[in-house]
Structure 1
Amino acid sequence: MSEDDRRPDPATEAFVTHRNLLFTVAYEMLGSAVDAEDVLQETWLRWAAVDLDTVREQRAYLVRIATRQALGRLRTLGRRKESYVGPWLPEPLLTAPDVAEDVELADSISMAMMLVLETLAPTERAVFVLRGVFDLGYEEIAEAVDKTPAAVRQIAHRARAHVAARRRRGVASAAETRAALGAFQRAVETGDLQNLVDLLAPDVVALSDGGGIKQAMPRPTVGAEKVARLLAAGVAAWGPVSTLEPAQINGHPALIVRIDGEIDLVVALRVDDGVITGIYTVRNPEKLTRMDRETAVSR
């Protein structure tokens, strides 16, 4: 068998080349790795039927297919979230350390940013992700969302303003987040309530996603003292068989909590100006199935 015979066909080769990009686009639009993988399957089926001789730019064409599939699924997910038990958080991803080196990519998939994206309408979310994160041209985005380039410009402007009003005051460096996480871990492990309070912003918000399967806070908890007491009570409930394991989650330092060796929850933090302003705890076991392997993301 010759080397040419062993090479994948051009359609497969193009899809594999851009797979991580397509997954990241779908994940940022959906907040669900499971649904993003389904979008990839649908994208492949449509891509495999395309006459490649008619495709001018394969990357843009693939992104267009994936975006359209994600938009359709996003509307379905919206109906599903309406009946979700308790706060909904994105499915956390275990990511490689080098993801944090791409500051814009890491910020775009952070828990905090993913929650901001949830406040956008589906088309606004698609335009913001494709323009702001992946730097696609307005003409390419227009084809993906079935709008004119002029309309896309207006949508992009509106989405940027919406996100800017809700996003972090300044992106904390990986070193700042690691330092805050280390101090947070020590305070949690020692049960030092005052140290916990000192680490938290006065208006810190804690969210917990159990999906109706695991016990979790039914609504957001706001305020340093309330959140600190809640965390202290949670740690006491874990017992001596729990371990806190630092990890890279969605491009940022976070903690994986194991009980009897099994993953029970993931804790991600939002850090602004040296203090913790957001704590995101995912306990829903259906969202923790990828914690045993790194997920490749790219721009």
Structure 2
Amino acid sequence: MRNPATPQFSELANTASQHANRITLSILVPFYRDDPTALAAALNPLIGVRRDIEIVLLDDGCPDLGLNEAVARAVRALSAPARLISAAENIGRSAGRNLLASQARGRWLLYLDADMDPGNDAFLAAYLDRLELDDFDAAFGGYETDEPDDRRYQLHAVLARTSDQKDAAARSLIGATAFCSSNLLVRASVMRGVPFDTGFTGWGFEDVDWAVRAARTHQLIHFDNPARHAGLQTTESLLQKFRDGAVNYARLLQKHPHLAGLPGARVARTLGAIPGQGLLRGLWAALANSQAAPVRLRAAALKLWRASWAAEAI
């Protein structure tokens, strides 16, 4: 009898995947509504004639059957070993990544987001060379963000560059909390022992929680091998995401009290001590949305919006 905790899914494997064995690296790409075919197409020539690297895509219960069919066609057309796993229903970010890890055949796993692109032609080679040293258990390669042509995405680009886009040296000073689940290279055995916490639902912080837990018993490193992040969002989308993510941030701090010293947590506590601070959210949202305001002021307003909702949750 099937374990009710195990999600139902179907699998499509291309010809190369059916004949591949002894996989060294599984590239794992979950998607929901986003189209991963451009990423798969970009990875295909980097894999070349190797048959020990596979691409595994997860359609996380996306309601768009047309997208699923397009991805299936793309998987069949790839020369590299590739599979498409289609979940019967949406299971979320943590469970989706755990499902991918359970179905991967590689000794190493590389998580990439569907809206990413390899940073350069040496992207995979850099990881393959690094894992040959066999002296670490997980590595975060970082990411880069291009300047968007559409002004609606300008704020997200600025926020990414000023908050998260750092080189390995800077990220190493921060430690595990600078890890993300996009562009994450990890031993498959580590993921079996330290899966993502499915108690984190919706968006945010499941990757930070994972890294903090994994760092207790495994060697985590930061590495300069950035992927390009193309999936920028509008200000309205960011406002909603940051509001919804407050619950996950509270869960993160509850599980790891020593993270209370993080800058975001300190700002949230400071705002929480101000009577009626929630009434200022309209100001933060208006500033963030204002195309006339300096973009750094808009970014600061967006951070205050996020901290305001976090103050309520923690």
Tell me the TM-score normalized by structure 1: 0.29
Greater helix share, structure number: 1
- Greater RCO, 1 or 2 (C-alpha within 8 Å, sep 6+): 1
Tell me the TM-score normalized by structure 2: 0.28
